[in-house]
Structure 1
């Protein structure tokens, strides 16, 4: 579960909040250059797992490693500078900055993703990120003036500009119409083709079925199953848990 085939690995990660065991002994390995989808009902511990890996929460037990080196105890910016980027459900854009300025913010000194290098090269990365997300024509628009879907793509443009090699995406396709979902799918496929490793939290099972190479199903902080997408999505017991049809 480690090495080049699985750059990001969690082993027996656990955290509790009071008497609630939010994540219980989770062990997962992200396959390099692939998409692993985290699926499960609300409260399953998916976002909490992201917060443990990225240093936003400190685990009670267990380990998370990147290329064999521990991430636990690192601050979020330290994890980010190792090449791990994440998106948030609330997007966290600089609403009164332009689209270009938002994307540029991921490359500037003092940002979590700062890398020493030529300013022209950083500017070129920003323009490439805007082009890849279809935002070039909106580069001078303020983020607050964008449609919801374009804000979603702006959050992805910042990740692209940062040149992160591992993406942790928290419901990136939620609220998108069919055309926007197709754009998003194309963006992830292109990232995979460049060797980007992606872990995706997503409630739209059509998106999961289309994009995921592997699914991990979580419930009440526990990984119940990991496997090929169709096998997981067709499992009647897991479907009952997902749609709230099981006994309490």
Structure 2
């Protein structure tokens, strides 16, 4: 592939006691390319995200963003460098409005008074409005997050990511539980973003979505990367599919 590598994790390993959660995994994310992490539950996919974003520190290995090491940096520092992350539990502010949830994701400090004055505030408002428009949440801007439907909370999580302007998105099961219409909206959202140059890595158990979106699939099992290739190569591999569906051959 000719696209430039934006993020690379090389030889990443992390153990918890006697459990090797991630073992010598190498992953490269290229500009404008969608990479899916596939594998059975417990394969190490979310742990790999945590190691890349500073929520966990690897026992061994290197993580570089555009050639610069981000190893051992705090999660908020990693985010400020341009890696936006979603979580399975979404981590929204339930009592805050949709608008304020998105605004909180891009305010540079936790204080009431933000740097940049009125021009900075105006720029942030434009980013919030852009993100709400992209996710179809404009009419819900004043609604509390706790009052949203399940699908709407998923899109609010995506709006928070879009508003940051981050060039790299790490999405942990972003479409899980969505109805068919919402899944189609999500697929279009990601396609539009990658067409604009955003790099996406997603963990997703819905293989239909993986097939629709992914340019590459990295297949993990028991903390190791067993294979990487196109969706046709990975999903056409009978041995990998057997592992995915729990039909492991000893």
TM norm structure 1:
0.96
Q: How do 1:65-104 residues align onto structure 2 when only pairs under 5 Å count?
A: 65-104=64-103
Deviating runs (4+, > 3 A) in structure 1?
Answer: 114-117
- Structure 2 residue aligned with 1:242: 244
Q: Is this contact kept in 2: 1:4–1:67, CA < 8 A?
A: no
Tell me the residue number matched to 2:145.
Answer: 143
Once the 2 structures are TM-superposed, how far is the Cα of residue 67 of structure 1 from its aligned partner?
0.4
RMSD: 1.6
* Aligned CA distance change for structure 1 residues 185 and 4 (closer, same or farther; 3 Å): closer
Q: Is the 8 A contact 1:38 1:217 kept in 2?
A: yes
1:189 corresponds to which residue? 191
1:123 matched to which residue of 2?
A: 125
Unmatched segments (≥5 aa) in structure 2: none
> Per-residue deviation at 1:178?
0.4
Work out the CA distance in 1 between the residues paired with 2:115 and 2:86.
20
Shift of 1:121: 1.1
Match of 2:200 among 189, 198, 201: 198
Residues 1:57 and 1:180: Cα distance change in structure 2 (over 3 Å)? same
Matched, 1:162 2:161: no
After TM superposition, give the deviation of residue 162 of structure 1 in Å: 0.9
The equivalent of 2:174 in structure 1 is 172
How far off is 1:6 after superposition?
0.8
Structure 2 counterpart of 1:223: 225
Please state how far the C-alpha of 1:115 moved relative to its aligned partner: 8.8
Deviations 1:217-248 (A, max 9, x none): 00001110100111101110001100001135
Alpha-carbon separation, structure 1, partners of 2:20 and 2:40: 15
Measure the CA separation in 1 of the matches of 2:33 and 2:58.
26
- Distance in 2 (CA, whole Å) between partners of 1:32 and 1:161 is 19
Displacement after TM superposition at 1:213 (Å): 0.4
Residue 109 of structure 1, CA deviation: 2.7
- Post-superposition shift, 1:190? 0.8
Return the TM-score normalized by structure 2. 0.95
What's the counterpart of residue 106 of structure 1?
Answer: 105
1:31-52 deviation digits (Å, cap 9, x = unpaired):
2111000000000000000000
Structure 1 unpaired stretches of 5+: none
Equivalent pair of 1:107/1:115 in contact (CA under 8 Å):
no
